[in-house]
Structure formats: C-alpha cells, structure tokens
Structure 1
Amino acid sequence: MVETLTLVTDFLLENKLLLTALLIVLISLFKQWLVAIIRGNVSFLTDRQRKWISRSKNGIFLLTITMLFMLWQTEVSKFALSVTAIAIAFVVASKEIILCFTGSIQRASSRSFVIGDWIEVGNIYGQVIEHNLMATVIQEIDLVNGQYHFTGKTATLPNSMFFTYAVKNHNFMKRYVYHHMTITVAQFVNLYPLLPELTNKIESYCEDFIEVAKRYNSVIEKHAGVDLPGSEPHIHISSGATGEQNVNIMIFCPTERAIALEHKIRQDFMEAFEQRFKQA
C-alpha cells in the first residue's frame, strides 16, 4: 500500500499538468460542497450566509493560487528570469526610441516651441516645419555666420536631443533682430572722433522703421519680462589680445534688412577711417 502510494505520488509530481488538473477538480468539488453546507436548504440567503460564502470562495481561491505556485515554483522562477532578461534587452535596444518619445512629451509639456518658431538646438538653427512623437524637422537657417536666410537644408532632429541640449527659441528674430557686427582696426589710432558721424548715419538708415522697432522691442520686453538693450544703435570700442581695436556695433532692425544695413555701415566706417587716417 505504501509503495503504491509512493509510486502514485512520484507519478503525479513528474506529470505536473495532470496533478494541476486533479487539484483544480478536487478544490472545485470541495468549494461546491462547502458552499452547499453553508447554504443549507433555505430558499433565501441571509447576510451572514452571503458573507461566509464570499469568505469561503476567496479563501479557496487564495489556497488554490498558493498551491499552484508552490507546485510550479521552479518553472515560474525560470520564466520570470527569462521575462526580466527579455525586458532588460528590450529597454536597452529601444533606449533611443523611449528617449525620443519622452522628449516629445517634455517638449509638449514645456511648450518650448511650436511649428513656425526659429529654434537653436546644439549648433543647429532653423525654423520648425514639423514635429511628431519621434522627431522634429527644421529648415536650417545660417545664424552661425550672422546670416538670417535659409540654407536650403532640412534637418531632422530626434526628440532625444532635447534632453542633451538646451532648446533656445529665437522666434522674435523672425521679424526684428539685435544684429551685431565687429569691425577690426589693426592700427592703434583714436577712433572715437568717428563715432558721432557714424551714429548719425546709422540713425538715418533706421529712420523709416524706428517707431515700429520701438513698439516691437517693448512687446518683447513685456513677453520676456527683462530689460532689453533698446532699439537705438549701440557702439563701443574694445581692444583685442594683440593690440588691435574692435568697433562693436549693435542695431535693432528688421531681420531681412540686417545684412544690407551691415554692408552700408561698414562702408561708411571705412570711408570715414580712410579720410581721417589715410594721409597720416
């Protein structure tokens, strides 16, 4: 008898699917018997009976789960390790995709830019023409060289770049811009007498748009909440490391006219410099 019981037990342990099915059947029969005992022969259940029936069902369910887990513990552990390894491999393989997706969420939540804005990401400048969950597409603008025209190149930026580089919005530069220029003079001479006449000429060039520039400058100041340099031209002279002098000029002007105005201002300065210092 003992040997027969041992053989049956070993057989069931080796065939876990059969043992699992047998346990489920036995536990189901036990649950039905227990519920029938609690219910009795009454037609309507009392609240006390409903509570005990619910407790019995929940307890038997937990007992079933515990027994099945103990029976299949080795297989469950192996499966969990496999799933964990697969999950880790998936996360590592799809790291960039996840970063792109979360970068899109970060962009949308921070409202750093919208389609049509001029932005700077790293050393890439351009106008946003499209953005989606994975990437942002921009038309490149040559701001690196102080230009404001499109280069004709289209750049597709993965949204993961928004976690690596700061996103700078240059949208106000679409209409008016603080345009900087530097004129280098190798000779060490007194350049200050040239500045009043140069300032007058710059103001004459800005005469036709200066009122609009002042209003636009005020709008930018209110929107940014900072005190900007102002719409009037600014000129100052600095010295270089090797003794040369740098005439630094900044004007607030329409973006599309910035390069043309720079050429005129450079020409005026060179002509004035030549008239004053050529003979000397």
Structure 2
Amino acid sequence: MADNIALVIDFLFEHKLFFTALIIVIISLIKHVIITAIRGDVAFLSDVQRKWMSRTKNGVFVLTILILFLLWQTEVSKFALSVTAIAIALVIASKEIILCFTGSIQRASSRSFVIGDWIEVGNIYGQVIEHNLMATVIQEIDLQNGQYHFTGKTATLPNSMFFTYAVKNHNFLKRYVYHHITITVTKFDNLYPLFPALIEQIDHHCEDFIEVAKRYNGVIEKHAGVDLPGSEPHIHVTSGATGEQNVHIMIFCPTERAIELDALIRQDFMQAYHQQFGTQAHA
C-alpha cells in the first residue's frame, strides 16, 4: 500500500502540469461547495454572506498560489535567474497589476470601507459586494441624481483607482440621508412668509420618525466628530442669473422615504405659493 502511494506521488511530481491541473480542479470544487453552503437557498444575499463569500474566494486564491509556488519552486527560481536582465521591463509591463495589489493593501490598512458599505469612487456610486487583491465590485446606486435605488448595474473597479480618486464612504446613507430639494420660482416674489407653514407641514410628514432621526443624527455626529446640520428641516433661498429664485429645502429622513417626502413637500410648496400669489404665479 505504501509502495503504491509512493509511486502515485512520484508520478504526480514527475508530471507537474497534470498535478497542477488536478490541484486547481480539487480546490475549485472545494471552493464551490463552500460558496454554495454559505449562499444557501436565499434569493438575496446579506452583508454577512457577502463577507464570508469574499473571504472564501480570497483565501482559496492565496492558498492556490502558495501551493503552486511550493510545487514549482525550483522552476520558478531557475526562471527568476534567467530573466534578471529583463526584470525592469517586466515591472513596467506589470505596473497596473502592482498598483492593484498595492491599492488592495492601502484599502485594507486604511479600512476605508468593508463589504456592504455605500461608497463613491470618482463619479461612481454603489454598494460594495466583493473585493479581492485585484478589484472591488459594487452594485451601482443612483445617488448622483438624488435617488437612492439600485440601478441594476454592477461595476468592477480596479484597486489602482484608489490612488487616483478619493474614496468617499456614504455608509450612513443606507438608513438616513440629508435629502436636498430645489424648487425654482420664475417670478421674484417674497417667499419667506410661506416658510413657517411649510416647515410645520414638513414636521407633520416627519413626525413618525423624527425621534429616531434625532438619535441617529447624534450617532453620526459622535462617530464623525463634527457638528452636522441636524435633523430639523432647513430652508434657504438663492437667486439665479436671470432673476429666478431657487428654494433649497434640506430634510433628514429615512433613505427609502426620501423620494416620497420630496414629492409631498413640492406639492405643499406649490399649493401654498398658488394660494399666496394667485393664478399669475409660475413655479
């Protein structure tokens, strides 16, 4: 029995290409079984499941590289000695790969985000669903247009982008958001008498969550170490280049209700403006 095992081992080490393919197949099957067990039968993955799936993929990748390096160590050493003369050319050719690796190290050391966070990189917004040594995968969110829903698009960002663009973590937006509303009024009327009643109506729309919003706002302030605007509504007016007035309203509300409240507040303002200034008003 021992002789047969020794013969098999000798055969595998004599035929390293076959042994390498066998190792990759076995490790891939083990990874597939583990990923399937973590995923289960759920339709939507949780952040915990995504984290463990990402850890499994990264761990399997590192383990595969380590095993193959040990298997081909002698050949790799000989090859490294033979390519000394072209080492500089190889470094230049693999610059992007090196940047991706170092970008991954930079992300891990700075802890700028983890799986499940909402981030902004350049003009791309999304929720992190996977990250590895080479790239970060996000589910795109339409934050740029003042929306908070997933677009259905998946973006794969090379980790080298973290050296080019600032990474902004919008994780607190997953629950509550400072939502900005802008309403343009073409006539130059005195709008300030409308605001007290408008603020009362906004408070009425927000009364079912305002206490939770105050506590969550306090948690964000404590975590960030800065004085944020607060959970109460804010209204101010600016003038445009052609004389129009822009009414800016900011509310702190649950992310999933921002669009609903946006519509209600616009409706309240338009009704109040029409009642105050008559049918000649154009908003």
Kindly state the Cα deviation for residue 155 of structure 1 after the two structures are TM-superposed.
Answer: 0.3
Match of 1:96 in 2: 96
Q: Are 1:253 and 2:232 an aligned pair?
A: no
Match of 1:147 in 2: 147
Match of 1:167 in 2: 167
State the one-letter code of the partner of 1:223.
H
Match of 1:272 in 2: 272
Kindly state the Cα deviation for residue 275 of structure 1 after the two structures are TM-superposed.
Answer: 1.4
Over residues 37-96 of structure 1, what are the superposed CA-to-partner deviations in whole Å (9 max), with x where a residue is unaligned?
A: xxxxxxxxxxxxxxxxxxxxxxxxxxxxxxxxxxxxxxxxxxx99734x11110111111
Over residues 82-116 of structure 1, what are the superposed CA-to-partner deviations in whole Å (9 max), with x where a residue is unaligned?
A: 734x1111011111100000000000000000000
Instruction: Calculate the TM-score normalised by the size of structure 1.
Output: 0.70
Alignment of 1:171-186 (within 5 A): 171-186=171-186
State the one-letter code of the partner of 1:167.
V
Kindly state the Cα deviation for residue 276 of structure 1 after the two structures are TM-superposed.
Answer: 1.5
Kindly state the Cα deviation for residue 279 of structure 1 after the two structures are TM-superposed.
Answer: 4.0
Q: Where does structure 1 differ by over 6 angstroms across 4 or more consecutive aligned residues?
A: none
Over residues 157-189 of structure 1, what are the superposed CA-to-partner deviations in whole Å (9 max), with x where a residue is unaligned?
A: 000000000000000000000001100101111
Match of 2:35 in 1: none
Alignment of 1:56-71 (within 5 A): none
Kindly state the Cα deviation for residue 214 of structure 1 after the two structures are TM-superposed.
Answer: 0.4
Over residues 192-231 of structure 1, what are the superposed CA-to-partner deviations in whole Å (9 max), with x where a residue is unaligned?
A: 1111111000000110000000000000000000000000
State the one-letter code of the partner of 1:227.
D
Kindly state the Cα deviation for residue 238 of structure 1 after the two structures are TM-superposed.
Answer: 1.0
Kindly state the Cα deviation for residue 236 of structure 1 after the two structures are TM-superposed.
Answer: 0.7
Match of 2:242 in 1: 242
Cα distance in 2 for partners of 1:165, 1:137 equals 16
Match of 2:206 in 1: 206
Greater Rg by CA: 1
Over residues 120-174 of structure 1, what are the superposed CA-to-partner deviations in whole Å (9 max), with x where a residue is unaligned?
A: 0000000000000000000000001000000000000000000000000000000
Cα distance in 2 for partners of 1:94, 1:148 equals 38
Q: Which stretches in structure 2 are left out of the alignment for 5+ residues?
A: 1-80
SS of residue matched to 2:105: helix
Match of 2:229 in 1: 229
Match of 1:83 in 2: 84
Q: Are 1:187 and 2:187 an aligned pair?
A: yes
Cα distance in 2 for partners of 1:275, 1:218 equals 38
SS of residue matched to 1:231: coil
Counting matched residue pairs gives: 200
Instruction: Calculate the TM-score normalised by the size of structure 2.
Output: 0.69
SS of residue matched to 1:160: helix
State the one-letter code of the partner of 1:220.
I
Match of 1:138 in 2: 138
Cα distance in 1 for partners of 2:173, 2:255 equals 7
State the one-letter code of the partner of 1:224.
A
Kindly state the Cα deviation for residue 278 of structure 1 after the two structures are TM-superposed.
Answer: 2.2
Match of 2:59 in 1: none
The RMSD of aligned alpha carbons is 1.4
Q: Which stretches in structure 1 are left out of the alignment for 5+ residues?
A: 1-79
Cα distance in 1 for partners of 2:279, 2:116 equals 53
Deviates more, 1:108-117 or 1:269-278: 269-278
Cα distance in 1 for partners of 2:131, 2:279 equals 60
SS of residue matched to 1:154: strand
Percentage of pairs with the same residue: 82
Over residues 17-36 of structure 1, what are the superposed CA-to-partner deviations in whole Å (9 max), with x where a residue is unaligned?
A: xxxxxxxxxxxxxxxxxxxx
